[in-house]
């Protein structure tokens, strides 16, 4: 079973990651939280399987909504998903 989590490093920097049942990292997405923005900059996390990328996308959307953040996407996968359905993501699009 896969687990999605967020870990905070230096102030304003976080990593959303997916691990398998043995604790091995399957994917990760790096973000910066600057004032009221969640800036998605990491691309290495989304090079893998599309399903894992979608799970990370869902996690950052949930996090942004929970913390009233706007998403600024410098990552093409995240940017494209946000732009594909602007009504659904209007509350988090920066």
* Tally of domains within the chain: 1
Question: Does 46 map to a domain?
Answer: yes
Domain that holds residue 28: 3-84
- Distance separating alpha carbons of residues 78 and 42, to the nearest angstrom: 10
- pLDDT tens digit sequence for 28-87: 889 999 999 999 986 554 455 778 888 999 999 999 999 999 999 998 889 999 999 999
Question: Does 91 map to a domain?
Answer: no
Question: Does 52 map to a domain?
Answer: yes
Q: What is the 3-state secondary structure (H, E, C) of the chain?
A: CCEEEEEECCCCEEEEEEECCCCCEEEEEEEEEECCEEEECCCHHHHCCHHHHHHHHHHHHHHHHHCCCEEEECCHHHHHHHHHCCCCCCCCEC
Question: Does 79 map to a domain?
Answer: yes
pTM: 0.87
Q: Which CATH number fits the domain that encloses residue 29? A: 3.40.630.30
């Amino acid at each position: 079973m896969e687990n999605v989590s967020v870990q905070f490093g230096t102030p304003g920097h976080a990593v959303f990651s997916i691990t398998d049942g043995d604790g091995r990292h399957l994917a990760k997405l790096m973000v910066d939280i600057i004032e009221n923005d969640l800036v998605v900059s990491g691309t290495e996390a989304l090079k893998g399987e599309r399903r894992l990328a979608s799970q990370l996308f869902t996690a950052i959307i949930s996090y942004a909504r929970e913390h009233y953040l706007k998403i600024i996407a410098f990552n093409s996968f995240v940017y494209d998903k946000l732009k594909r359905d602007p009504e659904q993501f209007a509350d988090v699009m920066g």
